[in-house]
Structure 1
């Protein structure tokens, strides 16, 4: 169950109007690689340390592939790809890498993972 809380926010286009209330999802904790390794090991015959080593190796290799400009597709999970935010330049000839303000990682969940959203229930705290 996803916990929600009420957040008051102004209208960024018209600061003179009254704030409106919006629902915001609240985290109930975190799960790290060690926890995932523990869970996987309890669902298989593979030891926890081996699961953890494989997950760390996967993370390392995803990072390396992203640095090479590749899209990393993990079937049934989704795809990772590097994206950038840049300044707008009027003339294409004047565009350089200096226009890049920051980079980020885009994640596009696979259909099976997206379907999780249709079965989530909510509670307002």
Structure 2
């Protein structure tokens, strides 16, 4: 199934060639599937019933933040790894580095090589005007 994209015009004040606006592709017509949808799909291809799968997925979504707060990266086999990263204010002396310099935490996802290779085979198609 193809991934559709649309063309958007974006202002680029720092463009090297002096152009003020450039055109870029952006993914369009994105669908969304929730836990119920995933549970139904998993149930269809396995021996687990939908209710059991929903329960497991709900626990899974609660467990990930707990593990990240405990400084644990979560590796999901052929899918990839979730890990915690921080952004902080830089200082000129090592002694000035402390927890108050940390401005925000974010969750990073690093896809596995298999997943990256799968994504290299996407059929992109432009949405007609």
Between the aligned partners of 1:114 and 1:91, the Cα distance in structure 2 is 39
Counterparts in 2 of 1:109 and 1:14: CA distance versus 1, 3 Å: closer
8 Å contact from structure 2 (residues 4, 126) kept in 1: yes
Residues 11 and 36 of structure 1: is their aligned pair in 2 closer, same or farther, counting only changes over 3 Å? same
Counterpart position of 2:75: 73
- Answer whether contact 2:13 2:20 (CA < 8 A) is retained: no
Shift of residue 18 of structure 1?
A: 2.8
> Taking structure 1 as the reference length, what is the TM-score of the superposition?
0.91
Distance 1:46 1:17 in 2: 56
Is 1:3 the counterpart of 2:14 in the alignment?
no
For 1:61 and 1:19, locate their aligned partners in 2 and report how far apart those are by CA, in whole Å.
44
Does 1:107 find its partner at 2:109? yes
Structure 1 segments (4+ residues) deviating >2 Å: 14-18
Tell me the distance in 2 between the aligned counterparts of 1:12 and 1:25.
Answer: 23
- The CA distance in 2 between the partners of 1:122 and 1:79, in whole Å, is 26
Report SS of the residue matched to 2:78.
Answer: coil
Query: Gaps (5+ residues) in structure 2?
Result: none
Shift of residue 14 of structure 1? 4.5
Shift of 1:10: 2.4
User: How far apart, in 2, do the equivalents of 1:49 and 1:55 lie?
Assistant: 10
Query: Counterpart in 1 of 2:32?
Result: 30
The aligned counterpart of 1:20 is 22
**What does the per-residue CA deviation read over 1:49-69, in whole Å, with 9 as the maximum and x for residues that have no partner?**
000111111222222111101
Rate the CA distance shift 1:22–1:100 in 2: closer, same or farther, 3 A. Answer: same
In the aligned structure 2, how far is the partner of 1:66 from the partner of 1:33? 21
